[in-house]
Amino acid sequence: MSRKYRQRGYQDDEAPRTERAGDRKPKGDGRPRRGYGPREPRVVNMPAFREVLKCARCGASLSSSSIRFDTQCAKCAADLHSCAQCTWFDTSRTLECAQPIPKRVSPKDARNSCTFFDARVTVERETHSSAPAAPAAAPAASRPSSPAAASARQAFDDLFK
């Protein structure tokens, strides 16, 4: 009698199994091929994360000290004690604040005296390592970062002479 299913355990009989032409045989000696055995996991080079406080208008990084009522951004002079810089600022909420405020604060980027103010801190990846300080004599655009970069830039400039 021919079985419908060939899995072991399905209506097993104790008769020895005969090999058929369609049965597969494993290649080699049954051991894993060279280089495919157990290995140590790869070392993942993940960048670190850090908390940053950034200006809501220009995106400049700010010092981690607390923001006082009269603090302004050093780069764009925007008021930092404002709704746009607050953790609770949410444009999808009523009065655009996640806290129960009695009336709408407007404009959102101007200094206000809200008691719920908490500076928005974001988490971002550190995508570059800190470079050593370079001399301030040369402008940043023309200063190469390494001797190899300097020779490569020189070779590129020589093409157009």
- Predicted local distance difference test score (pLDDT) of residue 161: 77
Reading the block at residue 69, the tokens are: 């009522």
Straight-line distance from the first to the last Cα atom of the chain, in angstroms, rounded to the nearest whole number: 89
> Please, which residues have CB within 8 angstroms of residue 144's CB and are 6 or more apart in sequence?
150, 153
**3-class state of residue 151 by DSSP:** helix
Pick out the chain residues at pLDDT < 70.
Answer: 1-6, 8-28, 30-40, 42-43, 64, 129-145
- Predicted local distance difference test score (pLDDT) of residue 143: 54
Domain boundaries in the chain?
Answer: 47-122
- Predicted local distance difference test score (pLDDT) of residue 23: 64
d(CA 40, CA 49): 26
**Closest C-alpha among 122, 125, 123, 102 to residue 114:** 102
